[in-house]
Amino acid sequence: MQITSPTDFAKIADLLLAARRDGRALPPLSAAERPKTLAEGYAIQALVSKAMGEPVTGWKIGATAKLVQEKFGTDRPFIGPLFATTTYPSGAEIPADKLQHKKIECEFAFRLNHPLHVRAEPYTQAEIVTACDALIPTIEVVSPRFAAIPFGEAPTAIADWGVNGAIVLGKPITNAWKDVDLALHRVQLTVDDALVAEGTGAAVLGNPLVSLTWAVEDLRQRGMSLAAGTLISTGSMTGMTDVALNQPVIANFGSFGLVEITFV
Query: pLDDT-derived band of residue 8, with 50, 70 and 90 as boundaries?
Result: confident
Which domains does the chain carry? 55-263 (3.90.850.10)
- Compute the CA torsion angle 53, 216, 120, 228 (nearest 10 deg): 60
Rounded to whole angstroms, the Cα distance separating 137 from 139 reads 7
pTM for the whole thing? 0.94
- Summarize pLDDT for 56-105 with one digit per residue, the tens: 999 999 999 999 999 999 999 999 999 999 999 999 999 999 999 999 99
Please calculate the CA angle 52-53-57 and round it to the nearest 5 degrees.
80
Asked if residue 5 has pLDDT above 70, the reply is no
Query: pLDDT-derived band of residue 7, with 50, 70 and 90 as boundaries?
Result: low
Mean pLDDT across the stretch 216-241?
Answer: 98
Q: Are 137 and 170 in contact (CB under 8 A)?
A: yes
End-to-end CA distance of the chain: 38
Rounded to whole angstroms, the Cα distance separating 253 from 25 reads 32
Rounded to whole angstroms, the Cα distance separating 156 from 138 reads 25
Query: pLDDT-derived band of residue 159, with 50, 70 and 90 as boundaries?
Result: very high
Query: Cα 53 to the chain's mean position, in Å?
Result: 19
